[in-house]
Amino acid sequence: MDTEHITDVWDRVFATQPDPSFWLVVATAVVALAVMLPYSAWRISRNAITIAHEGGHGLVALLTGRKLDGIRLHSDTSGLTVSRGKPHGLGMVLTAAAGYTAPSLLGLAGAALLAAGHITALLWGATALLLAMLIMTRNAYGVLTVVLAGAAFFLVSWLTTAEVQAAFAYAVVWFLLLGGVRPPFEIQGKRRRSGGRVDSDPDQLARLTNVPAAVWLGFFHLVALCSLFGGGRWLLEL
């Protein structure tokens, strides 16, 4: 690959793209709601939230110095991230807290990129993150899910027009922001139905910190709603 070609790719990825129309932004929000609100659609689309959730656990585990053993994604949209290190302390707390906050925070970061006009950079950045996650995925269904997601981002960024890239990127970011709100409510309902006898992230955090699981659930709700509010304002240019 010659220097000129590398420069062309660099310019293509990091150049700014024109803002899409307001109605395209609104339409992509409606599409995100359509695949997030109905349970039949959510059963499938929730796989994307699980990827972000487990990827958040894995990324923070590495950033805090833990050894990441692997990530598993299951067809029922559950997942498992296994890391090694001290079973207590700040690193373990941050790793456990990263899952439910990751989709919303990724959506917020994506909204910031889109507001700055970096649509292609967002698509390539997502592709790179998915490739890194693929290396650590340890089951066949997880590999298939991550490969399909990564291929979608790459093909859209490389083969489609600027309008299609914008529509795809805005739909994904809206879905992360909106979809990040639902899982804390789901685990809250599951804990209520089981009388709190659930080995969930909030329960693990409660054992690590002696802070009640309900407080951690409130924190997850706060992060999701604040991210939706802030990211939505950026996307709608309010």
Q: Over the stretch 77-99, which tens digit does the pLDDT of each residue have? A: 999 999 999 888 999 999 999 99
State yes or no: pLDDT of 67 exceeds 90.
Answer: yes
Q: What is Dmax (Cα atoms) for the chain?
A: 63
> What is the Cα–Cα distance from 186 to 142, expressed in whole angstroms?
22
pLDDT recorded at residue 104 = 98
* C-alpha triplet 117, 118, 124: angle, nearest 5°: 160
* In the block, residue with structure tokens 């307001």: 22
DSSP state of 181: T
- φ, ψ dihedrals at 75, nearest 5°: -65, -15
pTM for the structure as a whole: 0.92
pLDDT recorded at residue 87 = 87
- Are 95 and 86 spatial neighbours (Cβ–Cβ below 8 Å)? no
* Cα-based distances in Å from 80 to 38, 122, 176, 201: 25, 26, 19, 11
- Are 62 and 133 spatial neighbours (Cβ–Cβ below 8 Å)? no
Model confidence over 195-210: pLDDT tens digits?
766 789 999 999 999 9
| Distance separating the N- and C-terminal Cα atoms of the chain | 43
State yes or no: pLDDT of 151 exceeds 90.
Answer: yes
Q: List CB contacts of 58: < 8 A, sequence separation 6 or more.
A: 68, 71, 81, 83, 133, 136
pLDDT recorded at residue 14 = 63
Q: How many CB atoms lie within 10 A of CB 194?
A: 10
